[in-house]
Amino acid sequence: MRKISLSLLLLFCFTLFAQEDYPKDAFAPPMDIPIILAGTFGELRSNHFHSGVDIKTQQREGVPVNSIGDGTITRIKVSLWGYGKVLYIAHPNGYTSVYGHLQKFSPSIEAYIKKLQYNKKSFEVEVFPDYGELKVSKGELIAYSGNTGGSAGPHLHFEIRSSISEKPTNPLLYGMDVADATNPILEKLFVYPLTDKSHVNNNYERTQVNFSKQNDGTYLADKVTALGEIGIGFIGFDRLDMAANKNGVYSVELSVNGKTYSLYDFESFSFGETRYINTLVDYEYYGRNRQRIQKSFKSAGNNLSIYKELYNNGKIDINEGLSYTAKLLIKDYAGNKVELNIPVDGVKNLLGNKKEKKTTDNYVIAKKPNNFDLGGAKVYFPTNTFYEDFYIELKKGKDTVTIHNNTVPAHRNFTITFDVSKYSKEVQKQLFIARLDSKLRPNHANTYKRGNEFTTRTRNLGTYTLARDTVAPTIRTKNFKEKQWLNNYKYLSVQIADDLSGVDTYSATLNGEWILMEYEPKRNTLTYNFDDKIADQTQCVLKVTVTDNVGNTNTLTTSFYRK
């Protein structure tokens, strides 16, 4: 009998356990409409990968959402942002399904969560029901699709996670039927010189390279001359059938002269690593151009687990006098692909036009804590706030300071502390820390006040200032007028807004009794549903109080009639 080497046996075991056998017929679709995607798993988003798929709901809310399998509800959350109204269902086969941005829950679940909201006197709640307390069956109605939370339009955000590790996995792995016969689209190609001695097309910086479609359907890049260590990046997207959305691709492979240098895909990832997306994309380019170049090489600080194969971190060593053919292969989950061949010749640059590195008076060492005094404020960067060392631009000021710009990503929160001792206590109550946008408009940053020091924790570089808010929020009735009869109304609506620091808290009573008003910050509305049956008097008095983030308060008292 032939002996099997230990290394071969270990390789076999690794391959066996690395390939999970996802059940293809265990789950039903979450909705009884054609599954057309507005967003794919692993799609590149701001500071994170998309952890599920976004299912189109025919541009409307209220589409029935069903449980994909037998199970028990393990978590229900209602929040202003994030997933908005969301349900988590644990299934016996070890997976958990997630349904986000819901309009409302099914009647029994709605009654369950509304009781909790009234007990806590809070619209925002989160509950973890006991296992088996809220059982559901495959295909059972659990909710209706909506546009709550951070959603930018009506759709269902749908995930499948491991119940043990909580790692999200691509829902398409479970046999979800999505029509896709469309190839990914390649928009731009970039080649990077990765060391001080590297160059591309007589250039020492990121260089865009043109390409053209060939008769066989593949793409061919213009010839590249280079020397030293280089990397490949691209801008592209996937498009599914019956949808115009620019979705994320599933896998990216770079090979050189037939050898795979890097291969990664979006089968799964962990929430703990999702912010490392900022190392997969060219963040500097994104900060300046709002487009994401996806790197096929692994750069400093990249701790992503999405790589299936990696040689020399995906970086290509180009030697003088030699020729190379790099191939970029981009696929969607259905296997549709775009192939780009990149010819590279090793040629020494004789022009000597190397650009000098831009330096400043301050240098950040990523693996050490860094403190800087900016006059009216101080900034503290903990160890590993950034992925790599860099020269940081700092502008001092009394009430306004600039901490570099949006071309460098921060992985961890850092702190900015302002000295407000020169202001009276009354003025301090109205002050808050704000980040100025590109049009110099102040955006409230969570401000922690302790004595004469105001501090905020953030991951966003940019310009920060002390802003003062002296104006209370506005409150006005939206769908009714004072002393109006509302017999045929299903709900009443109030519009609230704050012009500077933003709404912090709100509360409402009807005839002196607390009522649940759903807050939709995207539309600045509070809504009360008459099904709650608290309006049990003919003349009803509604009182709404709203407080902004520095404590300015306004109260609206109005009345209406109802039988």
Domain boundaries, the chain: 37-173, 185-346, 362-468, 474-561
* C-alpha of 118 from chain center: 31
The pLDDT of residue 209 is above 50? yes
The pLDDT of residue 5 is above 90? no
Q: pLDDT per residue over 10-63, tens digit each? A: 333 433 334 468 999 999 999 999 999 999 999 999 999 999 999 999 999 999
The pLDDT-based confidence of 304 (bands split at 50, 70, 90) is: very high
How far, in Å, are 163, 182, 217, 245, 281 from residue 54 at the CA level?
21, 18, 30, 11, 22
**Spatial contact of 547 and 553, defined as CB atoms under 8 Å apart:** yes
Q: What percent of the chain has a predicted confidence (pLDDT) above 70?
A: 96
Summarize the confidence of residues 202-225 as an average pLDDT: 96
Structure tokens, 10: 């270990």
The pLDDT of residue 277 is above 80? yes
Summarize the confidence of residues 151-158 as an average pLDDT: 95
The whole-number pLDDT of residue 17 equals 37
Summarize the confidence of residues 356-376 as an average pLDDT: 93
The pLDDT of residue 514 is above 90? yes
Q: Rounded to 5 degrees, what are φ and ψ at 201? A: 50, 50
* Cα–Cα distance, 241 to 181 (Å, whole number): 7
Q: pLDDT per residue over 446-469, tens digit each? A: 999 999 999 999 999 999 999 999
Instruction: Outline where 20-174 has alpha helix (H).
Output: 107-120
The domain over range 474-561 is classified in CATH as 3.30.1360.30: no
In this structure, CATH architecture of domain 37-173: Distorted Sandwich (2.70)
The whole-number pLDDT of residue 353 equals 66
Q: What percent of the chain has a predicted confidence (pLDDT) above 90?
A: 90
In this structure, CATH architecture of domain 362-468: Sandwich (2.60)
The pLDDT-based confidence of 350 (bands split at 50, 70, 90) is: confident
Choose the weakest-confidence range: 347-361, 467-481, 489-503: 347-361
Question: Within a 10 A sphere around the Cβ of 190, how many other Cβ atoms?
Answer: 19
* 181 burial type by CB count under 10 A (0-12 exposed, 13-18 middle, 19+ buried): exposed
